[in-house]
Amino acid sequence: MKPSSRVLTSAATAAVLATVAVGATRAVPSAVRHAGQPPQTPPATVTYSEHIAPILNANCVTCHRAGAIGPFSLATYEDVSPRAQLVADATRRRDMPPWKPAVGAGPFRGERRLGADEIDLIQRWVRAGGPEGDPAELPPPPSWPDGWQRGTPDLVVTMSEPYALPALGADVHRNFVIEVPTTVDRFVAAVELKPDTTAGVHHARLLIDRTGSARRLADGNAEPGYDNRLADQARSPDGHFLGWAPGTLPQTADRLAWRLEPGTDLVLKTHLVPRGVPRDVQITVGFFFADAPATASPVVVQLGSQTIDIPAGDQAHVVEDTYPVPVDLDVLAIYPHAHFLAAEIHASARLPDGTTRPLIQIDDWDFNWQDEYRFVEPVRLPRGSTVLMRYVFDNSAGNRRNPVRPPRRVRFGPTSTDEMAELMLQAMPVDPTDRLALTRHVERKVAQIVLAGSEKRLVDDPDNATHHEEVGVNLVAVGRRAEGIGHLEAAVRLDPGSSTAQYRLGTALALEGRTDDAMARFRRALEIRPDFTEAHNNLGGLLQMAGRLDEAGRQYRETLRLDPTHASAHFNLGHLLLAEASFAAAEIEFRQVLAVRPDSSDGYAGLGLALAGLERVDEAVDAYRAAIRLAPDTAEVHRHLGDALSGQGKVTEARASYDRASALESNQR
């Protein structure tokens, strides 16, 4: 999978089944003892109907049934009988059910562990010849409406056409865009992905795009979807990582339901693997809605390394990372990711009192069985705790999962024969007002991880213009602008025909206040690539700051001619029109911003200014309040709201808004 330039990939979850896949919820079959229950007398005779069917229904049939991901069905005696020894062997080795975390961490929801009594029953049944028993003793079979694991979805969407996956060749990283037909805001408690064939679908990330950027990329391709290397604006819903792989069960979180606005596209970032036979891949997604918006907003905390460099033959290569917890938080779920060479996954938290709390431990990592693990009860980490991540990689010929023989040097990268080491925690600040501080702290952490990776690639290939460009951008992102500019200048020297290097150098120069130099770089980028929308838009911004409004307007309008849905250009043009007191035209531009980005607090704030200029004060108040709902801590908007309320004669409310603005301004000093 390809990481973005600023955030770690919330990497994928699991792979295509090769043998028996077992999963689902737990049920207690007769004559089986679980922890905390008194011992029971083992039955004299073990039969399928009375003893084995309940175990398989509870643990196996979710995946092993008609139309599901398992390579064969285990739903009936006729299905199971010829495979009895296979089931016995897989469960005896604990290869199945596919539950990798070791005992001691967690506990996690939906743990799929067979008890020793259950394994013993299966072994005894097989040794006895696999008797069926009395069919009248069969438990009621589990059912799944229309093949869905969680029940009937509230909304079902499907790829408009299948993608032709070739029989042979390299892994395919392809993004598919699906329109979500909703005319009102909905609140998503769970999503479930159902491909028409799991053979070849290794995993998928589910993201959303409110900007139309992904759809434009897809529309420009003859084949369905677009290459994963192309940059889009698709993002995970705030605080959520949504992934799918064969065997993954949909997680439900009504309390954390995320908002799905009208005009949103679903983007499936898939990893497809040719399997020797050409296949048409078409994916359907079911949405399960909650009745109300989330009562809390989580944050995804990310650890990892992009400096991975594993020598050939190294049997125990260690990759570590830490995260200092800046606020009190509760960890709701954990999501580790690595590729084939990982052998062990360890994550824990060192608490301020010196004690250690295990978070997850996987002693036999398997690239084919990755998942999100949600804690039964949130794990409280006080401020001052440290999250510790330790991954061990085996790049020797003795690693049966090593995809390359003889082993070769392996570094960080997006393909499955590269390596990754990532750990994501879904966390909830104990104090909701700490969410912004936690989000910014995580952003700084991720920026440092990405910077270290780009610096490592530059060390390995010091004359590579692209690597200089990446290092420059990442240095600017962490506030080291002067160093970043030096690397961006090196990128331009090495590749003067790179429009992106010219543009990024211009952006860095603008941040340093070197306006004339920055404009020259943007103009050079446009000479190389006249349809570079971001260069037009940024050049317009600098021209507007210099008071050259007519020239700025031409740049914004050219941006919008090239991309009519460019929200930033609409926003900038709207503010230019405000400066010219063209309030009616400015209103149009800000409404265009909100049509593309319904969650834009800045768009609502600009609309409020335009409406206030048109003396539509009541509407302006509504717009300011909408902006504040989306971004409660923007002092300037509170002050504008105070002005509007004052214009309505609501003196007490206006004073409260002014006081709030003053308090926020004081906190920001």
- What DSSP letter does each residue of 94-106 carry, written as one string? T--S---SPBTB-
Domain shared by 363 and 384, yes or no: yes
Assess if residue 199 is contained within a domain: yes
Q: Which residue, 290, 321, 352, sits at the end of a domain?
A: 290
Domain shared by 139 and 174, yes or no: no
Question: In this predicted model, what pLDDT tens digit does every residue of 639-648 receive, in sequence order?
Answer: 999 999 999 9
CA dist list (Å): 319 to 307, 397, 412, 563: 9, 20, 11, 43
Assess if residue 541 is contained within a domain: no
Domain shared by 83 and 206, yes or no: no
Model pTM score:
0.79
The predicted structure's pLDDT at residue 669 = 60
Question: In this predicted model, what pLDDT tens digit does every residue of 213-269 receive, in sequence order?
Answer: 888 889 878 899 998 777 777 888 878 878 776 656 666 665 778 888 888 899 998
Please tell me the least confidently modeled range out of 199-203, 209-213, 390-394, 649-653: 199-203
Average pLDDT over residues 196-202: 72
Question: In this predicted model, what pLDDT tens digit does every residue of 272-322 receive, in sequence order?
Answer: 888 788 989 999 999 999 888 777 789 999 999 999 999 999 999 999 999
**Structural domain of residue 325, as residue ranges?**
302-429
Are 16 and 246 a contacting pair, CB within 8 Å? yes
Assess if residue 84 is contained within a domain: yes
Distance CA 569, CA 591 (A): 12
Assess if residue 497 is contained within a domain: no
The predicted structure's pLDDT at residue 248 = 67
Q: Can you tell me whether residue 143 is helix, strand or coil?
A: coil
Are 503 and 521 a contacting pair, CB within 8 Å? yes
The predicted structure's pLDDT at residue 145 = 64
Q: How many domains does the chain have?
A: 4
The predicted structure's pLDDT at residue 1 = 35
Domain shared by 616 and 569, yes or no: yes
Are 247 and 96 a contacting pair, CB within 8 Å? no
CATH number at residue 602: 1.25.40.10
The predicted structure's pLDDT at residue 249 = 64
Question: In this predicted model, what pLDDT tens digit does every residue of 102-124 receive, in sequence order?
Answer: 988 889 987 878 888 999 999 99
Distance CA 624, CA 601 (A): 9
Domain shared by 3 and 138, yes or no: yes
Report the candidate in 49, 58, 111 with the shortest Cα–Cα distance to residue 80: 49
Q: Which residue, 429, 446, 464, sits at the end of a domain?
A: 429
CATH number at residue 320: 2.60.120.230
Confidence of residue 369 (pLDDT cuts 50, 70, 90): confident
Enter the tokens of residue 368: 């084919």
Assess if residue 442 is contained within a domain: no
Domain shared by 123 and 210, yes or no: no
**pLDDT surpassing 90 at residue 200:** no
Average pLDDT score over the chain: 88
The predicted structure's pLDDT at residue 250 = 66
pLDDT > 70 fraction of the chain, expressed in percent and rounded: 90
The predicted structure's pLDDT at residue 233 = 78
Asked, as a colleague might, if the bond just before 406 is cis with ω within 30 of 0, I would say: yes
**pLDDT surpassing 70 at residue 198:** no
Average pLDDT over residues 601-625: 97
Q: Which residue, 265, 290, 315, sits at the end of a domain?
A: 290
Average pLDDT over residues 458-470: 97
Q: Can you tell me whether residue 416 is helix, strand or coil?
A: coil
Q: Name the H helices within 193-321.
A: 213-219
Question: In this predicted model, what pLDDT tens digit does every residue of 390-437 receive, in sequence order?
Answer: 999 999 999 999 999 999 999 998 777 899 999 999 999 999 889 989
- For the chain, the distance separating the N- and C-terminal CA atoms, rounded to the nearest angstrom, is 41
Assess if residue 90 is contained within a domain: yes
More confident residue, 122 or 211: 122
**pLDDT surpassing 70 at residue 490:** yes
**pLDDT surpassing 90 at residue 87:** yes
Enter the tokens of residue 371: 């998942």
